Amino acid sequence: MIVGAGFGGLAAARALTKDTSQIRVTLIDKRNHHTFQPLLYQVATAGLDAGDVCYPTRRFARGNDALTSLQGEVTGIDFDAQTISLADNSTVDYDSLILAMGGVTADFGVPGVTDHAFGLKSAAEADALRSHVISQFETEANRRGRGAEADHAPTTIVVVGGGPTGVEMAGGYAELTSRVLLPDYPELDPAIVRVILVEGRDALLAGFAPKLQANAVRTLEKMGVEVMLNTQVAEVGASSVTFADGSSVDTATVVWAAGIRAHPLAEQLGLDVDRAGRVAIDDQLRLPGKPNVYAIGDLAAIPYEDGLAPQVAPVAIQGGEHVAERIIESMSGIDTAAPPFAYFDKGSMATIGRNAAVVELPNGWTISGFPGWVVWLGLHLIMLMGFRNRASVFVNWAWNYLTYDRGSRAVIEPTHRPELDSRG
C-alpha cells in the first residue's frame, strides 16, 4: 500500500511491480493524477496548460495487473490493525505501507500567507494563480482605459523565496509581463509593472555555487526583476506586503515559494516529526518500531551530509526504489543487513528564463546561460511522463521560444455544478 502518487510513490510502485507478480500494490492519492511539480511554475506563468503537467494515475496503472490505483483522502492509519481510513469512511488493509504524501506550503507563521498568498503545490493552485494575475492586468487596463488613476497593486507581482521555484517564478513573470501582458494591455504604463523577488538570506539559490548564485541575480535583474536580498516578510495583506523593516509594497499578487513542510497527516497520526513536520526514520527509511511502515520523499527527515536531504524529486525517487527493494527482499525471506539508504546527488538546476538556466554537477562543475538552459530543457522533457504530455509541452515551448508569445492565458472561471460526487 502506497499513500501518495508523487515522484516517490510512483517510483516505489514501479519498482515493486516490475519483476515480481507476487506483490499486489495499491496506490492511493487524493487526486486522480500525478502532478509534475517541477513544471507547475510554467502553468502559473501561462507557458503550459494545467493538463500538460498532470498524468492520470489510472493510466500509469493500466495494464499492470499487480498495481491498483485508488482515489481517496487518507484520514487515519491504525498501525496495530494495519488499516487505513479514507475520507469516505471506508478502510483498506495493508501488509507493508509506504508513506509518500509529500509536502504542503509552509507559511512559517507569517500572518496573512494562508489568506492572501498563492502557493504552488498543485495544478489547481497554479491555474488559479495564472487566472488571478491575468485578471488583475485586465481589470487595471480597463480602469486605465477609462482614465482612472494608476493603481500599482494589480500590476506588481511579489515572489517570496529565492530557491529554484522562486527564481523560476520571478523569471517567468518577468517574461510574461514584458513580452505578453504589456503588448496585450497598451493602456498600462510599463513603469507600474513590477516583478519583485524577495529572499531572506544574502543570496539566491542557497546550496548552489556562489558563481551561479551571482549569475542568477544578474540574469534576473537584466530581465527586469527587482531582487531584494536580506529581506524578511512580516505580513501579507490583500493588497500589500510588509517587510520586517516596516516598509511595504502595494501588490495584489504574492507568490509564496518560501518553503514547504511535510504533509500534516504525519503529525496528526502522532508520529515523531521534526520542526518542519518531517517524519523520523531509520537508515532503511522505516518508522522506528514499525518495521513494515516506510516514509519517503518530502515527508521524511532523511539525513544527508551535515543536515537533511533536500526536498526534491530525486530524493523521493531514490527513496521509493530503495524501499521497494527492501520490501521485495523481506517478502522473499531475505533479511540480510541491507545497506543504509544514501541519497546520491546527481546535481541541481534551476531555470531563470528564455535561454538561461544554472546547472551544478556533483563534482562542482557549473553550467549557466544558454548551455544550462538546453540541459534543463532536455532533462525535463525526458522526465515528463507519457508521450502525449511531452509532445504537447514541446509544442507550447517551441511556440513560446519562437514567438515570445504565451498561449495559455485564457481565464477559465470554474463552473459550480451540483455535488453528485458524494454518491459513492
Q: Which of residues 243-272 bind its own copies (CB under 8 A)?
A: 252
Task: Candidates 7-15, 120-128, 272-280, 316-324: pick the segment binding its own copies (CB under 8 A).
Answer: 120-128
β-strand partners of 160:
198, 256
Active-site entry in 168, 175, 199, 360: 168
Residues ≥6 apart with Cβ < 8 Å to 70: 26, 27, 28, 29, 92
Chosen residue from 9, 154, 164, 297 binding its own copies by CB under 8 A: 154
Of the pair 94, 294, the CB lying nearest its own copies is at: 94
Query: Is 168 known to be catalytic?
Result: yes
Verify binding: residue 347, its own copies, rule CB under 8 A: no
- Identify the three-state secondary structure at position 18: helix
Q: Which of residues 23-82 bind its own copies (CB under 8 A)?
A: 31-33, 49-52, 54-56, 58-59, 62-63, 68, 70-72
Of the pair 50, 101, the CB lying nearest its own copies is at: 50
Three cell numbers at 49?
496548460
Task: Candidates 291-299, 309-317, 350-358, 400-408: pick the segment binding its own copies (CB under 8 A).
Answer: 400-408
Map 28-82 to HEC letters: EECCCEEECHHHHHHHHCCCCCHHHHEEEHHHHHCCCCCEEEEECCEEEEECCCC
Q: What letter would DSSP give residue 408?
A: -
Q: What is the rounded CA–CA span in Å between residue 347 and residue 96?
A: 32
Chosen residue from 87, 244, 342, 412 binding its own copies by CB under 8 A: 412
Nearest to 208 by CA among 164, 256, 269: 164
Chosen residue from 307, 333, 364, 414 binding its own copies by CB under 8 A: 414
Q: What is the rounded CA–CA span in Å between residue 14 and residue 25?
A: 10
CB of 2 to its own copies, least distance (A): 16
Chosen residue from 42, 136, 155, 240 binding its own copies by CB under 8 A: 136
The CA–CA distances, whole Å, from 347 to 40, 207, 217, 354 equal: 21, 11, 20, 21
Verify binding: residue 334, its own copies, rule CB under 8 A: no
Chosen residue from 134, 160, 285, 324 binding its own copies by CB under 8 A: 134
Q: Is 146 left (phi over 0), alpha (psi -120 to 50) or beta?
A: alpha
CB of 72 to its own copies, least distance (A): 7
Rounded to the nearest 5°, which phi and psi values hold at 14?
A: -65, -45
Of the pair 68, 75, the CB lying nearest its own copies is at: 68
Verify binding: residue 149, its own copies, rule CB under 8 A: no
Verify binding: residue 353, its own copies, rule CB under 8 A: no
Q: How many residues bind its own copies (CB under 8 A)?
A: 78
CA atoms within 13 A on the CB side of 14: 16
Handedness of CA 210, 211, 212, 218 (dihedral sign): positive
CB of 39 to its own copies, least distance (A): 13
The helix or strand, by DSSP H or E, that contains position 279, with its residue range, turns out to be strand 279-280
CB of 86 to its own copies, least distance (A): 9
Q: What one-letter code names the amino acid at 229? A: L
Q: Which of residues 90-109 bind its own copies (CB under 8 A)?
A: 90, 92
Three cell numbers at 225?
526583476
CB of 225 to its own copies, least distance (A): 22
CB of 32 to its own copies, least distance (A): 5
Task: Candidates 275-283, 341-349, 359-367, 410-418: pick the segment binding its own copies (CB under 8 A).
Answer: 410-418
Chosen residue from 93, 108, 183, 288 binding its own copies by CB under 8 A: 183
Of the pair 382, 402, the CB lying nearest its own copies is at: 402
User: What radius of gyration, in Å, describes the C-alpha atoms of the chain?
Assistant: 22
Active site residue ranges: 168
